[in-house]
């Protein structure tokens, strides 16, 4: 079994738990007690992305942060259906195994489609939603630098061979230079060709047209978003995101006109890295306020 060099404990002072799902171990954080907040990362990150938010909220809430299969310290099977539906199923199985019924969501990048995918299955279980530079609806927009990674063989070389996707994000997804220890933390689980399998599969799983294996799944999620018009929602958005740009932010606002929203023009895709000090009080106030209402 692979033993990873853990990130700096001052940055990531957590001990992950494991749950077996269909014969593979899913790694997750389970911190604190109280109302449940589930945080869902995207590609090419892992639970490390939410480390500061976990530290902030764990004294008053129970915070669950899975590493999607193939990501972080979860198993990285090579012959595995790394699809949107499978990731949603894994999340459903994780929460069922933990006996969790009601929960709030914090969604970033692919976490938006995965989290809202579970939400549309069980809308009555979702108490509130925080949206961070993500999408849960179809779009024909895709940056060239990501589109290139979808090209057969070339994508394998860039994403798995050179670690170009995870390594490139260290500069492209932020506006402030990452400290070396933080950058190392993001890269640690993706230290070999085999361990970068999910990074490539996520890129390949972006459904750009009908007929793609995940097109139908995303369409059903998009159609189900109307179920959450009355669910408390906080939208926090980094304005300098080359992938989830202002178009996606405005799409969320159009669909959820009653949501509380804040736009951070100088923050990048990793908005929790660039603007955490600004986001932190907004997030705490949101959960305290909506928690008291529920």
What parts of the chain have a pLDDT lower than 70?
A: 1-5, 292-294
pLDDT at 2: 56
Per-domain boundaries in the chain: 17-293
- Domain 17-293: which CATH class? alpha beta
Question: Could you report the per-residue pLDDT of 66-112, keeping only the tens digit for each?
Answer: 999 999 999 999 999 999 999 999 999 999 999 999 999 999 999 99
pTM, entire model: 0.96
Question: Could you report the per-residue pLDDT of 105-119, keeping only the tens digit for each?
Answer: 999 999 999 999 999
| Edge-to-edge strand list for the sheet holding 62-66 | 17-21, 24-31, 62-66, 36-40, 103-109, 126-134, 233-240, 260-268
pLDDT at 294: 35
């Amino acid at each position: 079994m692979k033993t990873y060099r853990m990130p700096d404990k001052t940055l990531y002072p957590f001990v992950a738990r494991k749950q077996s799902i269909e014969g593979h171990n899913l790694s997750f954080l389970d911190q604190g007690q109280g109302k449940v907040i589930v945080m869902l990362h995207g590609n090419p990150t892992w639970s490390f992305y939410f480390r500061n938010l976990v530290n902030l909220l764990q004294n008053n809430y129970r915070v669950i942060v899975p590493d999607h299969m193939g990501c972080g310290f979860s198993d990285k099977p090579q012959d595995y259906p790394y699809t949107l539906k499978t990731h949603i199923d894994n999340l459903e199985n994780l929460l069922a195994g933990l006996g969790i019924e009601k929960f709030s969501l914090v969604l970033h990048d692919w976490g938006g489609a995965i989290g809202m995918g579970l939400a549309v299955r069980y809308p009555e279980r979702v108490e509130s939603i925080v949206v961070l530079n993500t999408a849960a609806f179809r779009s024909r927009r895709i940056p060239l630098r990501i589109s290139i990674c979808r090209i057969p063989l070339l994508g394998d070389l860039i994403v798995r061979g050179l670690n170009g996707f995870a390594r490139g994000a260290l500069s492209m997804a932020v506006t402030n230079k990452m400290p070396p220890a933080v950058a190392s933390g993001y890269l640690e689980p993706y230290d070999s060709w085999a361990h970068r399998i999910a990074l490539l599969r996520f890129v390949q799983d972006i459904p750009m047209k009908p007929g793609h294996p995940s097109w139908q799944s995303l369409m059903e999620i998009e159609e189900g978003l109307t179920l959450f018009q009355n669910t408390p929602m906080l939208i926090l958005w980094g304005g300098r995101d080359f992938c989830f740009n202002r178009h996606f932010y405005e799409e969320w606002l159009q669909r959820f006109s009653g949501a509380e929203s804040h736009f951070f023009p100088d923050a990048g895709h990793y908005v929790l890295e660039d603007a955490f000090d600004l986001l932190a009080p907004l997030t705490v106030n949101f959960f305290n306020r909506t928690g008291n209402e529920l």
